[in-house]
Amino acid sequence: MATYFGAIADDLTGATDLAGLLARSGVPVSLRMGVPDGPPVDAAAIEIIALKCRTEPVADAVAETCAALAWLRRAGAQRFFWKYCSTFDSTPQGNIGPVAQALMADLGAYQTIYCPAFPENGRSIFMGNLFVGEQPLAESPMKDHPLTPMRDSNLMRLLAPQVTGAVGLANRLVVAKGTAALAARLAELRAQGIAHVVVDAVSNDDLSVIAEACQDMALMTGGSAVAMPLPALWAAQGLVARREGAAFARVDGHAVLLSGSCSAMTNRQVAAALAAGRPAFRLDPLELAERGAGPALDWLAAQDMAATPLLYATAEPVAVRAAQDRLGKDCAGKLVEDALAACAVLARDQGARRFVVAGGETSGAVAKALGIKRLDIGPEIAAGVPWCFAQSGGQDVAITLKSGNFGAETFFADALERLA
């Protein structure tokens, strides 16, 4: 069966988040890191292309996403999804709106929806306003994001400067009435010439209504959760097929834990792993600047891999700021990413076949160093964090890529247990 659903994500852990939710359906999901060089080979029913274009210049983001769209169409995809962050990470310039518009133009689509809601992770939309837990987006920690500070909670106002033409709303009162009411509201807006529609959602039931009403749109856009119900709808119509037989191949071999995220949740997860007595090495950017990755690699080389060592740069905000002040933000980040990537390669050479990686940028660096180009999506560890299967250095490996705030406090142990 050819590909039916093609999705494009604006960053890697966003792509694995989407992949994990779609794979809950049992339909095979494959994730490519960047637009593949060659034509589609061995394409799955659901193909996701992970880009790194959230904060790129608009023209570059548009060019890359359109190239990804062209590849997905060659793979046979007939329905498309533009995945961005559930906190709508963007600026007045983009890239959410401009990319959506460019994809619509390529596809000849006359209307799309914008629904970043992810109720299981506390992101909900009511009357066009996005909430993070109980806080409006603009009062959440996202207001201080270094690249995409979110200073408004109203999605229509956030989207308006990013697109041409008016932005409409299908609100919760409509969604609560069900699929037919939502479809009628979308048709009404379309009759008014409104191509860009924000859709409210506060629960998974709302997302089911939205998915059902929008399943025939050429392009939907949003966070990962609104796409979650789609595969089951299509499977029921015979448009995609569920995976047959035993789900996944076993990946035996040692495991290694690598953490470069400094989010509040990752700090708690690393603390829990340390409290559990795991052998651990802390990477400090200041020391990396002085002595390089040698000490971390020497430490790892001396470890018994059967004990599942942890290497982490995860630190509290004060320490992160101190390192950034001394080295510059980009330099500190790169030192850590490069060091953890080198540790991943050494761990593989020492027999590690299961990799648990925390941090979006960190994940990209580690996956790249391991030479991973494609991931087959396996079982979920936590909402939006699946195990993935891949090839690295001629070996079958399992890898999980966790973005900062995802997972429970026991995430590292949960991940190992899920594959046991």
Q: Which is nearer to ligand ADP, 128 or 360 (CB)?
A: 360
CB of 340 to ligand ADP, least distance (A): 7
Tell whether residue 320 is a contact of ligand ADP (CB under 6 A): yes
Query: Dihedral of the CA atoms 215, 216, 221, 225 (nearest 10)?
Result: 10
CB of 269 to ligand ADP, least distance (A): 11
Taking CB under 6 A as the criterion, the residue among 44, 239, 313, 398 binding ligand ADP is 313
Tell whether residue 337 is a contact of ligand ADP (CB under 6 A): yes
Neighbours of 34 (CB within 10 A): 15
Q: Which is nearer to ligand ADP, 242 or 321 (CB)?
A: 321
Query: If you write DSSP's letter for every residue of 319-381 in order, what string do you get?
Result: HHHHHHHHH-HHHHHHHHHHHHHHHHHHHHHTTEEEEEEE-HHHHHHHHHHTT--EEEEEEEE
Question: What mask, x for binding ligand ADP by CB under 6 A, covers residues 271 to 300?
Answer: --------------x---------------
Tell whether residue 260 is a contact of ligand ADP (CB under 6 A): yes
Q: What element of type H or E holds 258?
A: strand 254-259
Neighbouring-strand partners of residue 80: 6, 219
Angle, nearest 10°, between helix axes 96-107 and 58-74? 40
Tell whether residue 336 is a contact of ligand ADP (CB under 6 A): yes
- Distance between CA atoms of residues 294 and 301, nearest Å: 10
Taking CB under 6 A as the criterion, the residue among 90, 101, 140, 362 binding ligand ADP is 362
Give buried/exposed letters for 9-26 (b at 16+ CB in 10 A, else e): bbbbbbbbbbbbbbbbbe
CB of 322 to ligand ADP, least distance (A): 8
Taking CB under 6 A as the criterion, the residue among 10, 17, 361, 376 binding ligand ADP is 361
- Distance between CA atoms of residues 257 and 268, nearest Å: 15
SS3 216: coil
Q: Which stretch binds ligand ADP (CB under 6 A): 72-80, 123-131, 246-254, 318-326?
A: 318-326
Tell whether residue 324 is a contact of ligand ADP (CB under 6 A): yes
- Distance between CA atoms of residues 133 and 181, nearest Å: 27
CB of 361 to ligand ADP, least distance (A): 3
Decide if 254 contacts 354 (C-beta within 8 A).
Answer: yes
Q: Which is nearer to ligand ADP, 256 or 332 (CB)?
A: 332
**Size of the chain, expressed as the number of residues it contains:** 420
CB of 244 to ligand ADP, least distance (A): 35
Taking CB under 6 A as the criterion, the residue among 14, 128, 168, 333 binding ligand ADP is 333
Where on the chain is the footprint of ligand ADP (CB under 6 A)? 260-263, 266, 285, 313, 315, 319-320, 323-324, 332-333, 336-337, 359-362, 403-404
